Structure 1
């Protein structure tokens, strides 16, 4: 089996390919069109279904024709991550510079990343796990431009360089943890061992030996993701405000 036939993982889906109808006018391929089609394919069918051959069929070309625009599956996935993260630049609610203070900047950026995660839940684990351009560029803010923007926003508002880096680490960890959990609750596998359909429920008897879990299962099953995200973000901002105060003290190493 060659690279064009090999899926990222899992069996081929039934009816997952929509080939271009015969005689339909073809738009010339370029890298962006290939990546955009890959994002749409993953959104519809999941990452496991993605192959170069299916991408070619979706675009009305042979799978090998895609290699003029991507060097292979790994380059395709890297390009998908880059293009999805770039959606932040088109989000009118997200500001590249802190026009209303650093807290407003961080809130807008966090909600922008969450919108991306919810718009492309099957892609978000890629954003979390693909190797970054440099080991100190942390997901989900995988762009050097966003890293520069982040550090400039905080240092221009009084954070020491050490405090700004500490804030970057805390902020990215917060986003990654919350959003991976949230997309997994929507049935997206975030590791090869995930089985979204294998969860126990209170009706099948599997919780008989866990009376508290069985009784509280309706409460535990409520989706409070948005409220939890907002509350945790507010707590993080309060923590960073304390970091800022500490960093301004004489002799501080933060």
Structure 2
């Protein structure tokens, strides 16, 4: 029974404090766990509310739509890179070491979250030139900064970013599919408008926006194919 002068709130937890207070991060973490256990197609606000033992309406205070929930889950999972002790936001031992650590960190994320990873690969980004699986503006800025400071030209840094992203997404999608992940498209019943990227804190992204926006899909395909053929030819020698 609620005492006189107080009101019950659906996100405050049970009396006595035996349930954590509801907040956005807790909802996103619960959403990621739900997807891993049941798949993204089963995720709804009602079902997630049931998992958290609250009414679905309580979630809307923190995640206004299913679309926002999915975007938040993607951001939350990618942000786990910052807590990976093996991954450095800035190079410490050269650009090769930086890329190796970043690639292996992203692979660890994919293996840890195989059902969420296809969302990372397919959700609309803040800007059309932000490629998965590096979905964070901060990480893209870090990548480009690492390459240009190592002596790569702006054009070479963008090309490296594209090649690195394509390599990761191709290999990691195949790996999570082998782990049982659903990599098919998920229809969004109520798609939200694309978000606009705020580049205020990312000067290199602002400078390279035109280069990043170019469609070089065919050139990238041809270059990757040439590398594959050269590698196979080398096996004969």
Q: How many residues align?
A: 178
Picking from 85, 91, 95, the partner of 2:88 is 95
* In 2: Cα distance, 1:122 partner to 1:24 partner: 32
For the pair 1:119 / 2:112, whether they are aligned, the reply is yes
When normalised by structure 2's length, the TM-score is 0.71
> Following superposition of structure 1 onto structure 2, how do residues 36-185 of structure 1 map, counting pairs within 5 Å?
36-185=29-178
For the pair 1:186 / 2:171, whether they are aligned, the reply is no
* In 1: Cα distance, 2:39 partner to 2:182 partner: 9
Give the CA deviation at 1:58: 1.1
Whose relative contact order is higher, 1 or 2, with alpha carbons under 8 Å and at least 6 apart? 2
What's 2:3 paired with?
none
Give the CA deviation at 1:87: 0.4
Q: Which deviates the most, 88-97 or 50-59? A: 50-59
Structure 1: 5+ residue stretches without partners: 1-19, 194-231, 240-254
Supply the RMSD in Å over aligned alpha carbons: 2.3
CA deviation map 1:201-233 (0-9, x unaligned): xxxxxxxxxxxxxxxxxxxxxxxxxxxxxxx9x
CA deviation map 1:65-109 (0-9, x unaligned): 100000110000000000000000000000011100000000000
Tell me, what secondary structure is at the counterpart of 1:184? helix
When normalised by structure 1's length, the TM-score is 0.66
Deviating above 6 A after TM superposition, structure 1's stretches of 4 or more consecutive aligned residues are: 20-24
Picking from 23, 29, 35, the partner of 1:30 is 23
